[in-house]
Amino acid sequence: MKNNSLELVCCPDCKNRLSEQIPACRINGFEKYLCCSKCSVIYPVAGETPVFLKKKDLISYGRRMDFMRAQYANFYDTLTNLMFIPCGGTESARHEVIDRLEIPENALVLETGIGAGDNLSYISERTGNCSFFGIDNQQIMLDKCTRKLRRSGIRAELFLANAEQLPFRDHSFDVVFHLGAINIFRDKEKAIMEMIRVAKAGTKIVIADETEKAGKLYGIFTGKQPEIIPPVGLVPKTMLDIRLETIWKGYGYLIEFRTPGL
């Protein structure tokens, strides 16, 4: 993690600033830690990735869904391309979301649920001077993301964390978006509120995921899941320009809104 990135990071529990500590010898295999002086919690840094997930934070979605998520992570590229075929193809589907982002010069960009990092290359096509940040709650996906970004020459700060408890300070990012998987979040409202909290004033926030039409199609593999209802009703009424649209040929939805300006 870069030193200047430490200014953006906070304790996901109490939102206090964190300090970097390097012990004289490895502790539990880690050479570096981020420490919260307020709640006395320490977070290890694995390589360059801060680990904000504790065992109690790990969520089970049921045995079948957990198995499917593990298999999906192992064969991510192939399965993602297959899943996007009904939506018009992977490139078209991603552009349908990424093209809705407003990206100023020298933007700080946060993706909550970065997965393998595929979306960052689409943003880089539009502007090459962004600073990318991404969180995911699966280490296997962050490992894939690291390898993929290294091959593409794109740099990003990655964090093992939950979208419902973002480890970032208030009003930090110029661009905040989420593409995929918010449907299975336990607390969608909290995740949306966290996106709002870390976005700068006037930031356009974009959220996209599958519709019930897609859920029924993929239910062949995942089993019966709760009905998919786009969480646009969870966006606070104080937000501006709230919109809900159907995308991906009916297999996806897109929610966009803007945080109030100063």
pLDDT tens column, 43-61: 999 888 999 997 656 555 5
Q: Does pLDDT of 159 surpass 70?
A: yes
Find how far residue 232's CA is from the centre of its chain. Answer: 18
Q: What is the pLDDT of residue 226?
A: 82
Separation CA 125–CA 237 (nearest Å): 33
Q: What is the pLDDT of residue 77?
A: 80
Q: Which of 30-34, 71-75, 164-168, 213-217 is most confident?
A: 164-168
**Closest CA relative to residue 112, chosen from 33, 54, 166:** 166
Q: Judge residue 259's burial from the number of C-beta atoms within 10 Å of its C-beta, 0-12 exposed, 13-18 middle, 19 or more buried.
A: buried
Helix, strand or coil, per DSSP, at residue 209: strand
Average pLDDT of 141-151?
A: 93
DSSP E strand stretches across the chain: 18-21, 32-36, 42-46, 49-50, 108-112, 131-136, 156-160, 175-179, 204-210, 240-247, 252-258
Q: Does pLDDT of 258 surpass 90?
A: yes
At residue 197's C-alpha, the angle toward residues 35 and 251, to 5°, is 115
168 and 8 Cβ atoms separated by less than 8 Å: yes
Question: Per the structure block, which two tokens stand in for 14?
Answer: 């109490």
Separation CA 183–CA 114 (nearest Å): 15
The predicted-structure confidence for 181-228, as pLDDT tens digits, reads as follows: 899 898 999 999 999 999 999 999 999 999 999 888 766 666 677 889
Nearby residues of 258 by Cβ (< 8 Å), 6 or more positions away: 202, 203, 204, 205, 239, 240, 241
The dihedral formed by the CA atoms of 29, 31, 35 and 40, expressed in degrees to the nearest 10: 30
Average pLDDT of 114-142?
A: 91
The pTM of this model reads 0.90
45 and 29 Cβ atoms separated by less than 8 Å: no
